[in-house]
Amino acid sequence: MALADFAFLPEKPHHDAAIEAINDEAFGPGRFVKAAYHIREDGPHERDLSFVALSGEEVVGSVRLTRIAAGEGRGLLLGPLAVRPAFKNIGIGKRLVAIALDAARASGHGLVVLVGDAPYYGPLGFSRVPAGQLSMPRPVDAARLLACELTPGKLDAFRGVVRHAALAQ
């Protein structure tokens, strides 16, 4: 299998059940207590900035972006990102992140934040948020709080408690 065998498309409502199954398979019930899940619970994700990887009709990977706010700053939360086990290590995860970042940039967004592994996301443009700048609604390992500035300097105003943007309007 090669990356060229997969289609990468914006997420549609009819993908929801398959995406839920992929996230359940990847993260299990533990996902419901994670800080990022807690934020995503408070409002919708951005369908136009969320993508699926398809093998034929089958959804084999998914990434979602959700609008978030912290202090005066606005940004996007990336996640969940998950790829079905049988399709790992082909490059689908990295392609999904790259496509989502491109779409976010094209829509005028300047910042993407996530909770994840720096060795995976570092080469994709993410680096560690300065210690103490952000707090999540539930504790996270500070080394896993990462940001990618699509517009240089956008992280500066993004300070304090991270919330769904719908709660900050």
Which listed residue (73, 75, 93, 110) binds ligand COA by CB under 6 A? 93
Q: What angle do CA 150, 152, 155 make, to 5 degrees?
A: 85
- CB neighbours of residue 108 within 10 Å: 8
Is 8 a binder of ligand COA (CB under 6 A)? no
Q: How far is the CB of 97 from ligand COA (least distance, A)?
A: 8
Pick the closer one to ligand COA by CB: 98 or 161. Answer: 98
Name the minimum Å distance from CB 70 to ligand COA.
19
Q: How many helices (H) and strands (E) does the chain have?
A: 4, 9
**Does 94 participate in binding ligand COA (rule CB under 6 A)?**
yes
- C-beta neighbour count of 168 within 10 angstroms: 15
Q: Does 82 bind ligand COA (CB under 6 A)?
A: yes
Question: Counting contacts by CB under 6 A, is residue 81 touching ligand COA?
Answer: yes
